[in-house]
């Protein structure tokens, strides 16, 4: 029975966090070339709750968007979004969720949240440089600089959530 409960919880959390990430994309403020969304918050929160299994909802989310479901920012979908300026964030969410999840499982909450931000931001900058033929400074200004404060708030929220959830389970 225990294995069935664990599988059911994994499926439930996978669906929940994939849906929350999609909703986070629909809450979008157009800022510069890349919109400000709450997708990354839910990726980090999934890592906090699901640990390394947080990669499941991220893969489901990205896969659903690639298959045409309107789950990306502003209800967009398709492979064109992946090859656009925000594609690096989407691709970066995958390793970010896994690595942050491993760190959250080890109760390294700050390192987990910061690593998630660094990973998806690095992927975004590299992808933007590739797809937009931009220099590193231009990509950094477009993909990271305007969002540093928001990323810090999202990371702090995830750390607080991790600590609260851990206290609830202890």
Give percent above pLDDT 90 in the chain.
Answer: 81
pLDDT given at position 33:
67
CB 50 within 8 A of CB 10: yes
In a domain, 26, yes or no: yes
Mean pLDDT computed over 8-13 = 94
In a domain, 116, yes or no: yes
CB 65 within 8 A of CB 72: yes
In a domain, 10, yes or no: yes
Cα 56–Cα 151–Cα 21 angle in degrees, nearest 5: 30
Q: Does 155 score more than 90 pLDDT?
A: yes
In a domain, 31, yes or no: yes
Q: What is the mean pLDDT of the chain?
A: 93
Residue 33 is part of a domain; what is its CATH number?
Answer: 1.10.1760.20
Total tally of structural domains belonging to the chain: 1
Which has the closest alpha carbon to 98: 155, 54, 50?
Answer: 54
pLDDT given at position 28:
81
In a domain, 147, yes or no: yes
Cα 146 to chain centroid, rounded: 17
pLDDT digits (tens, 9 = 90+) for 59-78: 999 999 999 999 998 899 99
Coil, strand or helix: which one is 88?
helix
- Give the domain range for residue 132: 2-164
In a domain, 170, yes or no: no
Mean pLDDT computed over 82-100 = 95
In a domain, 110, yes or no: yes
In a domain, 169, yes or no: no
């Amino acid at each position: 029975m225990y294995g069935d409960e664990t599988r059911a919880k994994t499926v439930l959390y996978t669906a929940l966090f994939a849906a929350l990430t999609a909703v986070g994309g629909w809450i979008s403020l157009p800022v510069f070339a890349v919109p400000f969304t709450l997708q990354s918050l839910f990726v980090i929160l999934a890592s906090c709750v699901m640990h390394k299994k947080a990669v499941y909802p991220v893969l489901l989310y990205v896969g659903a968007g690639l298959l045409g479901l309107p789950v990306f920012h502003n209800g967009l979908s398709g492979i064109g979004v992946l090859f656009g300026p925000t594609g690096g964030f989407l691709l970066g969410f995958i390793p970010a969720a896994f690595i942050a999840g491993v760190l959250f499982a080890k109760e390294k909450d700050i390192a987990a949240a910061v690593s998630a931000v660094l990973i998806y931001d690095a992927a975004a900058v590299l992808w933007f440089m590739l797809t937009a033929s931009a220099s590193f400074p231009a990509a950094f200004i477009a993909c990271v600089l305007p969002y540093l404060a928001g990323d810090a708030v999202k990371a702090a929220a995830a750390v607080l959530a991790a600590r609260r959830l851990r206290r609830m389970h202890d």
